[in-house]
Amino acid sequence: MNDLDKIVFYMKEEINKQADVEVERIQKEADEIRKREEKKVIDEAKKEADLHLEAAKRKMNQNKAQMISQYQSDKTKTLIQQRNVYTEKLFEEAKEKLLDFCSSDEYLEYMKKKISKYTFDQKVKVYVKKEDLKLEKMFKEKLDCEVLEGNIEIGGFKIETLNQQVMDETLDSALKDQRVWFEDHSMMILQ
């Protein structure tokens, strides 16, 4: 091999070495760029996954809160219905006992005691239930009155003066007032 061939050979070899070094440097740089891009894609994917996870958690918590609220609402409705059933039953039983009382001999004494509380210097109207019209004589002995059938279901009486003042001694009103008191004080109030 002559000198020129040797020089060309060494030059080729040197060029190949430098080319290999340059190829290696480019490959390293390409690997670093690829790793950075991979990391960027992975970080973005994690960030997006975290956002989706947080949105899913919020939705689940919202659904949970709605379910709890619906359960509490349903439970309250059930308790209210049950309370109403008990209250209705209790006051139906009380009404039946009052009706039984109105059929007893003690009722006449009760009516006499109640009417004796009143005195008027004018003629009044006394309203009673239909079955109590038979007590007209007792009322007229105590008061200057006209005894009329009134809108009374259980018993007792109402007195109405000429100036429209009304004294209500009906068992109907007493039971109604007791029901209001009971509902306010019975500890069956739902909060």
How confident is the model at residue 1, as a pLDDT?
66
Order the strands of the 124-128 sheet from edge to edge: 145-149, 124-128, 157-160, 166-168
> Averaged over 21-27, what is the pLDDT?
84
pLDDT at 98: 93
Task: Dump strand ranges (E) for the chain.
Answer: 124-128, 145-149, 157-160, 166-168
The yes-or-no verdict on residue 158 having pLDDT over 90 is yes
- pLDDT, one tens digit per residue, over 36-93 is 888 888 888 888 888 888 888 888 888 888 888 888 888 888 877 888 888 899 889 9
Report how far residue 51's alpha carbon sits from residue 126's, in angstroms, rounded to the nearest whole number.
Answer: 79
pTM: 0.62
Burial 44-59 (b: 16+ CB within 10 A, else e): eeeeeeeeeeeeeeee
* Residues 125, 15: Cα–Cα separation, whole Å: 133
Q: Is the confidence at residue 7, as pLDDT, over 60?
A: yes
Q: Is residue 17 helix, strand or coil? A: helix
The rounded mean pLDDT for the chain is: 88
Of the ranges 17-26, 65-74, 166-175, which is most confident? 166-175
Res. 108 pLDDT band, cuts 50 70 90:
very high
The burial class, CB within 10 Å (0-12 / 13-18 / 19+), for 110 is middle
pLDDT score recorded for residue 170: 96
pLDDT > 60? residue 154: yes
Nearest to 157 by CA among 171, 147, 170, 144: 170
Between 9-18, 64-73, 112-121, the lowest mean confidence (pLDDT) is in 9-18
> What is the number of helices (H) and of strands (E) in the chain?
4, 4
pLDDT at res. 78:
85
On the question of pLDDT at 127 being above 90, the answer is yes
Query: What is the predicted pLDDT for the residue at 75?
Result: 86
Terminal C-alpha separation, the chain: 109
